[in-house]
Amino acid sequence: MKNSFFTRTELLGIIGSPVKQSFSPFIHNIAAELTGTQIIYLPFDVHATNLKSAVNGMVALGIKGFNVTLPHKIKVVEYLSKVSEEAAIVGAVNTIVNDLGKLTGYNTDVHGILETLNPFKDEIGGSCVTVFGAGGGSRAVLYTLIRHFKPSQINLLNRTGQHSEYLKQYFKDKMKYKSISTIELFSPEMTDAVKNSKLIINTTSVGMYPDVDDSILNNDDLFRKDQIVFDLVYNPIKTKLLQLAETNGAIALNGLTMLIHQAAKSFSLWTNKEFPVEKVYKSVLLYLSR
């Protein structure tokens, strides 16, 4: 039995609360099967009060690595040996690599966002961008935009103005980017910002299943043909926001591309193997269509 599957299989997982809705186990276990990688990826529901114990337990058990989701992405940083450059600036970690008890944190959401938007880099650079939300997803989006796309202006809108004001100052200090404006939701300024933006990004959960009739914007007159609208929500694949954008000819980008590419980066960090992006994308698409 020395060479059996289980004696050579490494354990990976995701910690968060709740985690039952996560697609990560489905994605990584399919990738393992497609690449012949001997890993098993499991979800671990970890309450906020148990985070430190859970991280220590994963080290003790020799778990190769794990993803981190809400509500732990920021708090988990204090339990790591080091963090990557992008994770340090974003201030949040979604992937951890365990190297003999030394834990390194990464933010592979940045890679997912970059891969999604890269085909439009020339159009986004030097243009105006509007971002909805001021949570962890927004942090990764702002970092990626500033670092890789260099828009002339970023409009930040959030339900709680205090949070967007904090991010404005945060990225001004961290990345010396001074062209972020905070705008109130449902104000005349919001309408102008959206209409004048080349790229519109929703980083909130508005429109996510089962609330598929919700949208951060409900007027398709706000969109135009040369715009790009990116919704980080991936279930459903085509949110109401994206449907409205397409009605006026805007380019609609769903969150599934980002989800798959951030998973691909995590997978490669853990296994040093190439992730089968297209095959996994098709598998998740088929799953969601059912």
Active site residues: 73
CA distance 124 to 114: 12
Helices (H) and strands (E) in the chain, counts: 12, 12
Please confirm whether the linkage preceding 236 is cis (ω < 30° from 0). Answer: yes
CB 242 within 8 A of CB 231: yes
| Sign for the pseudo-dihedral over CA of 173, 121, 83, 163 | positive
CA distance 242 to 250: 9
CB 25 within 8 A of CB 12: no
For residue 119, what are its two tokens?
Answer: 């085909």
